[in-house]
């Protein structure tokens, strides 16, 4: 089946990034907006495109064409028009299953579902769905439009034709699909959690302040963002959830640093709350260079 219309379930950072990427490559995208903050999705996507216009990577006309390819709705009945469904909701098994069971009833029977969970295996999410042979896991890495690799996985029930279709779709977005075996955390999330957690332990131990740690790691390894800004942009609550899930599976090498738990307890979750390890304005840009230091403990 030719894929022209894509439905994305979830309008958080991941869903918005996939929507922008797909629309840029010519797909018609319906972004399903539910929950707190979903009303900001159109503004956030336009902000992202505006940054590209400012860098001369897009023209104003191209930006408008991309925006016109993206529609927004909370009505799941619109799923009946989709050629491909991408689930990009929070990593909570019950939430994903309930939403996907509804999508399973509403979508055409030959529509493939792409699951983006970093922690939950495809076979576990698939329970209760009629199209277990059409489920493929694909972990897009934010910022989606800038990262050219996608980890993908699948269960023993997945139709090889569905896997090939997903690989071709990922390639059409300008990305390389790399197969990994199903395992909690896959590759990139496990690496990121380890990096962020070690930086947080350095902060807790008073080795250096947040800005110093950020600068050393970022410039030593040629990274655009250091571990603390990455955590802030991912959402520190999500980082903590990943740490807890990995600790449960692999042991105390993933035990969250105290500062990570403290920030979540205080509601300082990063960019989405304008404060985490660093401070951010409404546009998601850092507004100071001090960060969380020893005096904040």
- Domain boundary among the residues 179, 211, 239 is at 179
Domain that holds residue 211: 188-292
pLDDT digits (tens, 9 = 90+) for 208-254: 999 999 999 999 999 989 999 999 999 999 999 999 999 999 999 99
Number of domains in the chain: 2
Average pLDDT along the chain, 297 residues, taken 10 residues at a time: 94 94 98 75 94 95 98 96 95 91 97 95 90 96 92 94 98 97 92 97 97 96 94 94 95 97 97 94 82 54
pLDDT value, residue 35: 64
Output the domain CATH number for residue 224: 1.10.1040.10
Unique residue bearing structure tokens 């800038």? 146
Rounded-to-integer distance, Cα 14 and Cα 116, Å = 9
Considering the domain architecture, whether residues 114 and 258 belong to the same structural domain is answered as no
Residue 49 lies in a domain: yes
Rounded-to-integer distance, Cα 233 and Cα 251, Å = 26
pTM score of the predicted model: 0.90
What lies within 8 Å, CB to CB, of 47 at 6+ separation is 283, 284
Question: How many CA atoms lie less than 13 Å away from 51 in the CB half-sphere?
Answer: 11
Considering the domain architecture, whether residues 117 and 46 belong to the same structural domain is answered as yes
- Domain boundary among the residues 138, 161, 179 is at 179
């Amino acid at each position: 089946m030719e894929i022209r219309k894509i439905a994305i379930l979830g309008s958080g950072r991941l869903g918005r990034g996939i929507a922008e990427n797909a629309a840029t490559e010519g797909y018609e995208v319906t972004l399903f907006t539910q929950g707190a903050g979903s009303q900001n999705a159109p503004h956030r996507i336009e902000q992202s495109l505006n940054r590209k216009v400012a860098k001369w990577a897009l023209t104003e006309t191209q930006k408008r064409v991309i925006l016109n390819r993206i529609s927004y709705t909370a009505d799941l009945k619109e799923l009946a028009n989709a050629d491909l469904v991408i689930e990009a909701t929070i990593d909570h098994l019950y939430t994903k299953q309930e939403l996907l069971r509804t999508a399973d009833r509403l979508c055409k029977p030959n529509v493939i579902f792409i699951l983006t969970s970093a922690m939950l295996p495809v076979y576990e999410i698939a329970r209760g769905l009629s199209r277990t042979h059409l489920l493929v896991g694909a972990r897009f890495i934010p910022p989606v439009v800038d990262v050219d690799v996608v980890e993908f996985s699948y269960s023993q029930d997945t139709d090889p034709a569905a896997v090939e279709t997903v690989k071709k779709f990922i390639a059409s977005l300008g990305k390389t699909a790399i197969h990994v075996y199903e395992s909690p955390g896959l590759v990139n999330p496990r690496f990121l959690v380890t990096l962020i957690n070690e930086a947080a332990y350095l902060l807790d131990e008073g080795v250096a302040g947040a800005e110093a740690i950020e600068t050393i790691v970022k410039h030593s390894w040629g990274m655009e963002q250091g571990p603390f800004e990455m955590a802030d942009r991912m959402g520190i609550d999500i980082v903590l959830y990943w740490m807890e899930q990995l600790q449960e599976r692999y042991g105390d090498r993933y035990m969250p640093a105290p500062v990570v738990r403290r920030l979540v307890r205080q509601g300082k979750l990063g960019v989405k709350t304008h404060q985490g390890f660093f401070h951010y304005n409404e546009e998601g840009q850092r507004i100071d260079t001090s960060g969380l230091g020893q005096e904040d403990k």
